[in-house]
Amino acid sequence: MSTPAAPIPRYELHCHLDGSVRPDTLADLAREQGIVLDRPVRDLVVAPDPCGSLTTYLTYLDLPLRLLQTPDALARAARELVEDWKADGVVHGEVRFAPQLHGDQGMTLDEAVQAVAEGLARGRADTGVATGLLLCCLRHQSPDESLAVAETALRQRDVVAGLDLAGDESRYTATPHRAAFDLAHTAGLPCTVHAGEAAGPESMWEAIDVLGARRIGHGVRCTSDSALLDRLRTDRIALEMCPLSNVGTGAVPSLADHPATALLTDGLPVTISTDIRTTAATTLQREFDALRDTHGWTTKHESLAQQNAARAAFPLPAA
């Protein structure tokens, strides 16, 4: 009788904290904060499938953002995410959030970062899962606001592993945020940028050539540009693909149309993540099951994606 193959260690590189809070936790936080919900919490935070657009998808983050306005709430959400990663076979998880969205009750950027970092530390201690924390600048905000996020990342460099730019790329370009990313590069802080999700290859070129992205969040719209594919392959710029979320936001029409399999086969550094675990009602296990059912993924495919993710992971801050 043969011995079952050992599980493949999983790396999650693209996971938003506000979209990955357990529904039961959100219900608890609402009760603690005296917030009456007019519908079951799952109806408020889990997007329908398909949702139709990124703009609509993002509305399902409104309640989590409203509830994650205290250090205790942020720390709890971060700790529980690490526990969920452990249950999902993750050995290294990177979570990102925009600290500037958590100041409604007076938290500073630094206090928000410290709260998430403390939750991650407790999760690491309990599970053994390695964690990384990324801070998000937002496309619709001003360059000064993004610079403040980058400055916070450098002040908190002992717990922050990278800088990100998120938001609706179809409405807002990345170039106005260059100063924040130049500051990060000067300090040796690695950067990733959401691109090629709601806009085309030009958004990815901008992320690479203007902001110096070492990874691209999503990147599903790269397939029509052969020069871009060559650049991604040559420079080993990892694609943080999130198949079920990409379908849910309308970035791709259906899972059958998702380019991850073709790109992986063609030698591009494709990685697989969940994006927003609660909003998309997903896990890495569900992502790989879906790819296996729709695209015929095997252990070989997942192993290659995990090797890509391990190489692309941002270095953990020194202890």
- The residue from 169, 197, 240, 302 that is catalytic is 197
Buried b (16+ CB within 10 A) or exposed e, 197-233: bbbbbebbbbbbebbebbbbbbbbbbbebeebbebbe
Distances (CA, A) of 72 to 4, 22, 84, 86, 109: 41, 15, 18, 21, 15
Residue 209: partners with Cβ closer than 8 Å, 6 or more residues away = none
Q: Is 83 an annotated catalytic residue?
A: no
176: helix, strand or coil: helix
Phi, psi of 292 (to 5 degrees): -65, -45
Residue 319: partners with Cβ closer than 8 Å, 6 or more residues away = none
Residue 13 buriedness (CB in 10 A; 0-12 / 13-18 / 19+): buried
> Annotated catalytic sites, by residue?
197
